[in-house]
Chain A
Amino acid sequence: MLAESLGLSAILFAIGVAGVLTRRNAIIIFMCIELMLNAVNLTFVALSRYYGMAGQVFVVFVMTVAAAEAAVGLAIIISIFRHRQTVDLRNINLLRG
C-alpha cells in the first residue's frame, strides 16, 4: 500500500497547492495549507511502516505545529479584519510597491 498512499498524498498536496494559488479568501487559503500538512502526514505514516516508528512521531510534531500555526494565523486574520473589514487578499496590498 506504499505506492497508493504516496499517490494519494501527492494528489491531496496538489489540490492544496491549487487551492492556495486560485482562491482569494484568506481563511480558505489557510484551510488549504492544513490540507497540504495532512498530505505530508499521510506520507510520514505510510513510510513509518518501512522505516520505523519515527514517522508517526513526526506526525505528532507536525500536528502540534499545525495547531500553533492555526492559532497564530487566525489571530492575524482577525487582526487584519479589524483594520480592513475584509479577508479578501485583493484588498490586502499594503506591501505592494
Chain B
Amino acid sequence: MNTYSLFYQFHFYLFGVVAIVAALTFVTRRSPVAAAMWLIVTLFALAAEYIMLDAQFIGAMQVLVYAGAIMVIFLFVIMLLNLGAPSEIADARGLWGKLLGGFAALALVAELGVLSRTGIPSGQYLVSRTFVEDQITRYGAVGAVARPLYRDFSLAFELTSVLLLVAVAGAVMLGRRREPSAG
C-alpha cells in the first residue's frame, strides 16, 4: 500500500469532514439561498479531495462547472422565482417522512460500507501503482484526461454534444413564455 504523509492525511480528513458537515447543513437549511451556499462549500471541499486524489483537472472542472456554472443557475432561478424567503418554502415532511428518509440513508450507508469492504479488493491495482501520476507527468493534468477522452471515448464524447444540444433546445422550449390567451 502507498504510504501517505501526515500532512496529506490530515488535509484529506479535514476536507472530508468539511464536506460532510456542509452537506448536513445544506439539507437542513430552510432558505434555498442558504442551502445553495452550503452546497457550494461541499462542492469546494470535494474539489480539494479530487486534487488530492491525483485528479487536478477534475478538481478545476468541479470549481468552474459545478460551483461556478450549475450553482449560479440554481441561484438565478431562486432569484427569478423570488423564493429566497424561508417562510415561502415548504418545511420538511412530517415525522414519518423524516424517519423514512433517515432510515433509508442509514441503510444506504450500511450497504455501501459492506460493499466497499467486501466487493472491492482493497489495494489491488489493475494498473501500475503510479499509473495516474505517470500519465500526469508525461501528458500534463489536462492531457492525461484528454487522451483517453478523445481516443477511447470519442463516440461517447460526440454523443455528449448531441445531449447538450437537446438539453439546450428543451430548456429554451420549456422556459418560453406562452401567449396569454393560450394559458
> Interface majority SS on A: helix, strand, loop or mixed?
helix
Q: Which of B89, B100, B116, B163 contacts A25 (CB under 8 A)?
A: B89
The proximity string for A residues 65-97 relative to B, scoring 1 for CB distances below 8 Å and 0 otherwise, is 111111110111111011100011110000000
**B73 close to A71 (CB less than 8 A):** yes
B106 proximity list for chain A (CB < 8 A) = 14
With A17-B108, A18-B27 known as contacts, the answer to whether A60 contacts B149 (CB < 8 A) is yes
**A6 close to B20 (CB less than 8 A):** no
What is the minimal beta-carbon distance from B100 to any residue of chain A, in angstroms? 6
**A90 close to B160 (CB less than 8 A):** no
A10 proximity list for chain B (CB < 8 A) = 108-109, 112-113, 116
B171 proximity list for chain A (CB < 8 A) = 71-72, 74-75
Q: How many residues of A contact B (CB 8 A)?
A: 73
What is the minimal beta-carbon distance from A83 to any residue of chain B, in angstroms? 8
**B148 close to A22 (CB less than 8 A):** no
With A54-B148, A78-B80, A78-B174 known as contacts, the answer to whether A34 contacts B98 (CB < 8 A) is no
Using CB atoms, name the residue of chain B closest to A88.
B90
A1 proximity list for chain B (CB < 8 A) = 4, 12, 52-53
What is the minimal beta-carbon distance from B174 to any residue of chain A, in angstroms? 4
**A54 close to B152 (CB less than 8 A):** yes
Using CB atoms, name the residue of chain A closest to B135.
A53
Q: Which of B61, B131, B177 contacts A60 (CB under 8 A)?
A: B61
B58 proximity list for chain A (CB < 8 A) = 41, 45, 56, 59-60
**A74 close to B73 (CB less than 8 A):** yes
**A45 close to B50 (CB less than 8 A):** yes
Using CB atoms, name the residue of chain B closest to A85.
B81
What is the minimal beta-carbon distance from A38 to any residue of chain B, in angstroms? 6
Q: Which of A12, A25, A60, A83 contacts B42 (CB under 8 A)?
A: A12
With A38-B66, A78-B77, A87-B81 known as contacts, the answer to whether A15 contacts B27 (CB < 8 A) is yes
Interface hits, B127-179 → A, CB 8 Å: 127, 131-132, 135, 144-145, 147-149, 152-153, 156, 160, 163-164, 166-168, 170-172, 174-175, 177
What is the minimal beta-carbon distance from B61 to any residue of chain A, in angstroms? 6
Interface hits, B82-106 → A, CB 8 Å: 83, 89-93, 97-98, 100-102, 104-106
Excluding A41-B58, A45-B49, A69-B167, 9 further A-B contacts by CB distance (< 8 Å) are A7-B116, A8-B16, A15-B24, A21-B104, A28-B27, A38-B42, A50-B124, A53-B147, A64-B164
Q: Can you identify 6 A-B contacts, CB atoms within 8 angstroms?
A: A15-B26, A38-B62, A49-B53, A54-B148, A56-B58, A57-B152
